[in-house]
Amino acid sequence: MTQEGAGGAASGLRAFTVRRGRAEDAAALADVFHSAVHGLASRHYTPEQIAAWCPEAPPPELFRQRVCDGRKLWVAADKADVAAAFIDLEADGHIDMLFCHPRAAEQGVAAALYGQLEAAAQRQGLVQLYVNASEAARGFFERQGFAVERRREVERRGVTLHNYRMVKPLA
């Protein structure tokens, strides 16, 4: 893993580079989202819940808008510069999205993305980060120092899914 602007390569992870997301990443981000939900989150939710969360790959335009709407978004790009994972940070400290393609999972990619995000949050003076973490991501965020505030039930397309409101104060 190399991390632009952050140095610090972890051995064995050099296949991915963390950089800011661009509008041209939109199609890859849509694929990462769909693949992460169906290939990873599916271990923690029923098929009905997964279908309600992400029935099909969303239109790239949705991600093009998110890259351009003022939030900060980082991608882990492979050697062909194709995004294999991404994370975002909204102005109030909300992490809205963290998704890793199964081909890039369990290699420290999400941790590297999160490291960039937290460093940026510190620089901009945010006092806390928060996320509505899926069951699939709860353990990851606990590993990063987040604590569960409460369990939430959310409805998507008429189906109930749970997630966890998690918070991390920043020093």
Q: Which residues are at the interface with ligand COA (CB under 6 A)? A: 36-37, 40-41, 98-100, 105-111, 131, 133-134, 136-137, 139-140, 143
- Contacts for 133 with CB less than 8 Å, ≥ 6 apart: 140, 141, 146, 163, 164, 166
Residue with smaller CB distance to ligand COA, 67 or 84: 84
Q: Rounded to the nearest whole angstrom, what is the least distance from the CB of residue 2 to ligand COA in the complex?
A: 15
Residue nearest to ligand COA (CB): 139
- Find, among 104, 89, 98, the residue nearest to 138 by Cα: 98
Of 36 and 77, the one with the shorter C-beta distance to ligand COA is 36
Q: Which amino acid is at 98?
A: L
Residue with tokens 């899926």: 134
**Strand, coil or helix: 23:** helix
Bridge partners of 74, per DSSP, are 20, 87
Residue nearer to ligand COA on the CB measure, 26 or 115: 115
Nearer to ligand COA, 64 or 86 (CB): 86
Q: How far is the CB of 1 from ligand COA (least distance, A)?
A: 10
